[in-house]
């Protein structure tokens, strides 16, 4: 177990470092003249050069990378960077604020979106998948399979637009203003409004993920349904509900947990499409805005956030599955 933890911890660190290198390199390719993008529309070349010098944009790429990773920007005379404590993700070119502060302001909306959607789609996937596995080939299995294939075939942005049209626009025309068109209300401000503003985004992600997870749960439960311990449980008179939910599902959890961690990390790293459709001011919208404005430090910071969440989530799940299997 100790060797497994050390190996996966090292792999996690190397993955994050590789993401930093790749993302930093891509921003250099994508933004050939970031100073010009940051300058006013009719700015002189002298102004552009002054911006480039103040932001160290004229330094060689490896010097810029060194400042970003090792030294970082100076805050009150103290050098910071990714390898310092507390780590710094640099300064936004546009906002002239630490990227970490910008991300921390946006993360509550993305976190609310990701956690809520994860809870709903995992719960529904387990219920539907287990019941479909109880009678494979039956009516319930056929119906859920058809719904799963349809849900998997529809892009997320189409689902979101349809939900807005039906559950917001059409209901509003009928005088039923149950759902807002978008925006985000903090949980601490009003739990009820927080949930109302997130129902449609949650439903969009649930429909996008439900088909895949339901099929994974069904396949995982069917794989263990004929194992000896399941036959033993049936022979002891355990009710079918207990056999499938307490025994078969427990034995089939590993692939479900792994897939759940990956999907959760991808959404938490930036649910760009969903946030754009419903006007959620989260990390995804921050990343899109920064990319359009040439704000490379914010782009790198948002990408790095997604990478860290992904590797930490998969690391935790790897540890849990290794512990469950006794390795």
What pLDDT, on the 0 to 100 scale, is given for residue 269?
Answer: 59
What pLDDT, on the 0 to 100 scale, is given for residue 327?
Answer: 56
Range scoring the smallest mean pLDDT among 106-120, 182-196, 227-241: 227-241
CA distances from 12 to 7, 16, 256, 264, 279 (A): 9, 6, 21, 17, 33
- Cα(13)–Cα(219) distance, rounded to whole angstroms? 33
**Residue 321, number of CB atoms within 10 A of its CB:** 16
Class of residue 267 by CB neighbours under 10 A (exposed 0-12, middle 13-18, buried 19+): buried
Give the torsion sign (CA, 26, 51, 290, 37). Answer: negative
What mean pLDDT comes out for the span 264-289? 80
Q: What is the pLDDT of residues 247-260, one digit of tens each?
A: 677 766 777 777 77
Contacts 24+ apart (CB under 8 A), 34-41: 34/93, 34/294, 34/296, 37/293, 37/294, 38/93, 38/94, 38/293, 38/294
pLDDT for 238 beyond 80: no
- Cα(59)–Cα(288) distance, rounded to whole angstroms? 26
Top pLDDT among 14 and 294 is at 14
DSSP-derived letter for residue 57 is: T
φ, ψ (nearest 5 deg) of residue 233: -65, -40
What pLDDT, on the 0 to 100 scale, is given for residue 79?
Answer: 61
What mean pLDDT comes out for the span 178-195? 87
- Cα(317)–Cα(259) distance, rounded to whole angstroms? 9
Q: What is the pTM assigned to this prediction?
A: 0.79
What mean pLDDT comes out for the span 143-150? 85
- Cα(294)–Cα(33) distance, rounded to whole angstroms? 9
CA distances from 109 to 60, 183, 284, 308 (A): 37, 9, 10, 18
155-175 b/e (C-beta count within 10 Å ≥ 16 → b): ebeebbeebbeebbeeeeeee
């Amino acid at each position: 177990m100790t060797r497994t933890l050390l190996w996966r911890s090292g792999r996690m660190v190397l993955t994050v470092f590789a993401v930093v290198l790749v993302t930093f390199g891509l921003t250099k390719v994508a933004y050939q003249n970031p100073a010009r993008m940051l300058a006013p529309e009719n700015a002189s070349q002298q102004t552009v050069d002054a911006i480039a010098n103040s932001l160290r944009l004229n330094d060689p790429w490896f010097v810029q990378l060194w400042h970003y990773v090792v030294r970082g920007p100076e805050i009150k005379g103290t050098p910071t960077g990714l390898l310092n404590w507390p780590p710094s993700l640099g300064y936004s070119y546009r906002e002239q604020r630490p990227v970490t502060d910008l991300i921390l302001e946006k993360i509550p909306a993305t976190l609310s979106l990701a956690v809520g959607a994860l809870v709903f789609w995992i719960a529904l996937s387990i219920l539907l998948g287990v019941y479909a596995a109880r009678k494979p080939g039956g009516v319930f299995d056929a119906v859920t399979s058809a719904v799963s294939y349809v849900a998997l075939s529809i892009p997320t942005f189409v689902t979101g637009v349809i939900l807005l049209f039906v559950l917001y626009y059409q209901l509003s025309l009928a005088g039923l203003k149950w759902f807002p068109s978008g925006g985000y209300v903090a949980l601490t401000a009003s739990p009820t409004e927080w949930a109302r503003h997130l129902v449609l985004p949650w439903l969009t992600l649930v429909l996008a993920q439900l088909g895949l997870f339901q099929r994974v749960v069904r396949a995982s439960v069917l794989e263990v349904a004929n194992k000896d311990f399941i036959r033993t449980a049936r022979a002891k008179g355990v009710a079918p509900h207990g056999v499938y939910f307490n025994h078969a599902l427990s034995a089939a959890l590993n692939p479900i947990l792994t897939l759940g961690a990956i999907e959760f990390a991808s959404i938490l790293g930036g649910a760009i499409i969903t946030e754009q459709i419903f006007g959620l001011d989260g990390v995804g919208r921050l990343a899109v805005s920064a990319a359009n404005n040439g704000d490379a430090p914010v782009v790198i910071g948002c990408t790095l956030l997604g990478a860290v969440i992904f590797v930490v989530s998969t690391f935790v799940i790897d540890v849990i599955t290794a512990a469950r299997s006794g390795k």
